[in-house]
Structure 1
Amino acid sequence: MLNYLFKTRAGQFLMTGIFFTVMGFVTTDFVSQIAFYIAIFFLGYFAAQDAIVETVKSKSPNVDLLMILAALGAVVINYESEGAMLLLIFAGAEFLEAFASDKSTNAIKELMAQVPTVAQVLKPNGDVVEVGTSELVIGDIVIVSKGAQVPIDGISDRKTQINEASLTGESLPAEKESGDAVFAGTLNEGDVFHLTVNKTSDQTVFSNIIRMVEEAQNRPSHIAKFIDRFEKKYVTGVLITVPIFIAILYYMSGFTFEEAFYRGMVLLTVASPCALVASATPATLSAISNGAKNG
């Protein structure tokens, strides 16, 4: 995670924001105020960008907008420290979501790297030629050497031992007899054998797993879909409620404007469903990544 933190722009902005937030708390007066302003800029940069772009694109507000408005409201009434801490929590959650997404993508790349891209094909005249696995057709005879990965799904012509940990997670090799099916991406721990191709490269068990992982990554869960539908209406409701709440406190309850505004910002922050919105995607992506790595 530390490597990801320092190599990404979002991670660098987060670290800079954390530094200036700490500076704001350990210094005093004007220096502290400037440090919090700088922290707010770095911690809120991507959230503000997303808030503006998504609001314009979808023509409706989102949770990023709520957090940015709450932080700006804190600055207006001279509570810069609260604004910085609010954005620090939000920026940290966004970073962790991006990290989880990146891990899921890397898991797919690792899966794809486990399947050879070339195979040794035995021709009818006895010649052995190297061809890409995408060029193999059903009926081709492929030579699989000892210690080599199986390049494509097929039928073994003799007894051998195949390590199928990449597919099943089982570390002990599976005993294969003549006529048994072997699968792309597995490892031949027995003697050399000939494999008769019975599936093309895009139909193998391994390619289907990769396809399922990609589809799962790109397809939101039922909870995530519900949150997306719920978010727009909820944010609009909060943006209408907060000004009314401030007006009631100021005109009817005897609060000063600063006190009423501060309580309005507290309501805005507490009412933001950021934790709910941020929870679904990382949980789904982490599950996909873990499943991909464990076969």
Structure 2
Amino acid sequence: MNDKQMPIRWLFDPSMHNNHVATAVPEIVLLGYDRFNEALSLTDHLHEDCFEFVYMESGKASWVVDGETYASHTGQLFHTRPNEWHRARLHHIEPCTIWWIIVTDPGTSNEWLRLASDEKKALESALRSLPRVITVDSRVRSDFHLMREAVEQNDSHAALKIRHCLTDILLQAMQPRDSNLLPQDLQESMASLALNIEQNPDQPWTIERLADELGISESHVYRVFRQLHGQSPAAFIERLRIDQACAILASQPDKPVTDIAFDLGFKTSQHFATVFKKCTGHTPSQWRKLQKDKLG
């Protein structure tokens, strides 16, 4: 794996640090940042007595919690509750950039984030009823950056800054912003178009065709797609084509990979293989073999 493909990670593990932040904010179990340039394995795991929050700084990732799949994209916050088994869809997290934090369950401490008793109880109740994926304000990204700075500076105000930022992230999750600032008719047209693409990913979708169907400019199509789906139209379509490729590889074990690539609209089998590995962590042939091995 070359440097371009290597994931970039920053991690704060309080158990490995004997500093002011580690002792003053015991609610934090782990705090991290990851930039994945290609799919990376992320299999089933859980966090005992802890919540996990994952902020999508860029890209898209799909998660499986108790058998249910949840898609998240740029500007959204995904979370799991204590003791929930979860993983990335297809056991690989897609190329993306994320901030994440694992914190203890407020119900396990009487002095959680130094909140008053009634505030802590209200927070605990709210956290257990949150939607799985929430669109939040860009301030959440700033909060994560500020927490990293506070950890690295480790000055006398670091713990206060971190408690403030963590509280702000939780409040953002409890009172998310309205992400649907687009005109209602455009939202409906976009939803209909996205459904059409999902049902027919092999069609020759181009930015020009999307603009014609929506009756807006090509640049506007790009902006709206980014706002609603957290990725460009091309990336959205590629992801759907890879999903369909996975289904074909599993259901038609003798169909040549090259034929699958051309049927799904890829110009070359090499491009198909490159995109497939970037999204799943395996080449098409490797993925097909894994499915055969699972079936015995």
TM-score range, shorter chain: under 0.3
Structure of higher CA gyration radius: 1
Structure with greater strand share of residues: 2
TM-score (normalised: structure 2)? 0.22
Structure with greater helix share of residues: 1
TM-score (normalised: structure 1)? 0.22
